[in-house]
């Protein structure tokens, strides 16, 4: 079985500051890990995906995530926050089933001017 | 290429009624998955269809059902609605035949269901 824990339901940063959103996973099989973003009244947009090809994964909009097996973590970072980054972010894990992702509870990112 | 389209965008129903939601996947995608999103439970997997067959199912009661048509469009049905069924229902599409590790799910904007 797979599970995901996102540490911090709300994160607030200033524009231009580092963004760090934390995600820890549990998986009985090699995990495939994802970060999705959800803007208000919209669906989920894929930011990036880890599939074991490289531990550092670069995604869209300047985001990246590092897979650390020893820490069972897959934290999302962005060097400099923009106002447009304000949204809810979800970490997710999949196993061997098509279409089935297990999501974390989400982290709402607020960006202050 | 058009994205995943879900209709209707909003629905208001009363307890005991039934409802049908529709999802049109990205052209060429044959897998459609459905998720329920609520503030309390977050995002939960309902089921996944591929080539008109349900391949995977989450832990929801039998009141929740779905189907997929030959053109890959999918519908989800909820019978005997309860207040707790109020949620955003999201569908996602993917190619469905490259192995789960190689799949990318593309989500629609969802249908917001309110049960009164």
pLDDT in tens, A6-55: 999 999 999 999 999 999 998 877 788 999 999 988 899 999 999 877 88
- Residue A81, both tokens: 């926050």
For residues B82 and B62, give the distance between their C-alpha atoms in angstroms, rounded to a whole number: 13
Please check whether residue A81 is in contact with residue A18, taking contact to mean a CB–CB distance below 8 angstroms.
yes
pLDDT at A29: 73
Please report the pLDDT score of residue A96 as a whole number: 78
What mean pLDDT comes out for the span B56-83?
96
Summarised one tens digit per residue, pLDDT across range A50-95 is 987 788 999 999 999 999 989 999 999 999 999 999 999 999 998 7
Residues A100, B48: C-beta atoms closer than 8 Å: yes
Q: B84-97: per-residue pLDDT in tens?
A: 999 999 999 999 88
| Tokens of residue A25, six digits | 């996973």
Residues A91, A6 contacting (CB under 8 angstroms): yes
Could you say which of A32, A42, A105 has the minimum Cβ distance to residue B42? A105
Q: For A99, left (φ over 0), alpha (ψ -120 to 50), or beta? A: left
Model confidence at B101: pLDDT above 80: no
* Residues of chain B above pLDDT 70, percent: 99
Measured between beta carbons, which residues in chain A are less than 8 angstroms from residue B100? 32, 94-98
A104 interfacial to chain B (CB closer than 8 Å)? yes
- Cβ–Cβ of B103/A98 closer than 8 Å? yes
CA distance B27 to chain A (A): 17
| Mutant choice from A29, A45, A98 vs B, greatest count of B C-beta within 10 A | A98
pLDDT for residue A106:
96
pLDDT above 80: residue A1 = no
- The confidence score (pLDDT) of residue B102 equals 77
Does the beta carbon of A90 lie under 8 angstroms from any beta carbon of chain B? yes
* Closest-approach residue (CA) in chain A for B4: A43
């Amino acid at each position: 079985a797979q599970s995901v824990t996102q540490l911090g339901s709300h994160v607030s940063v200033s524009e231009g500051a580092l963004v760090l959103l934390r995600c820890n996973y549990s998986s009985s099989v090699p995990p495939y890990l994802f970060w999705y973003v959800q803007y208000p009244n919209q669906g989920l947009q894929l930011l990036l995906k880890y599939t074991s090809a490289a531990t550092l994964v670069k995604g869209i909009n300047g985001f990246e995530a590092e897979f650390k097996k020893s820490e069972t973590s897959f934290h999302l970072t962005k060097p400099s926050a923009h106002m447009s980054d304000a949204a809810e972010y979800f970490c997710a894990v999949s196993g061997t089933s098509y279409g089935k992702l297990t999501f974390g509870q989400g982290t709402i990112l607020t960006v202050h001017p | 290429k058009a994205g995943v389209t879900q209709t209707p965008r909003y629905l208001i129903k009363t307890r005991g009624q039934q409802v049908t939601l529709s999802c049109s996947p990205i052209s060429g995608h044959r897998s459609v998955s459905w998720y329920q999103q609520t503030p309390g439970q977050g995002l939960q997997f309902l089921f996944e269809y591929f080539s008109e067959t349900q391949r995977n199912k989450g832990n929801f009661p039998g009141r929740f059902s779905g189907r997929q048509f030959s053109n890959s469009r999918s519908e989800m049905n909820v019978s005997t609605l309860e207040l707790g069924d109020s949620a955003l229902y999201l569908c996602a599409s993917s190619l469905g035949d490259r192995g789960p590790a190689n799949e990318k799910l593309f989500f629609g904007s969802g249908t917001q269901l309110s049960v009164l």
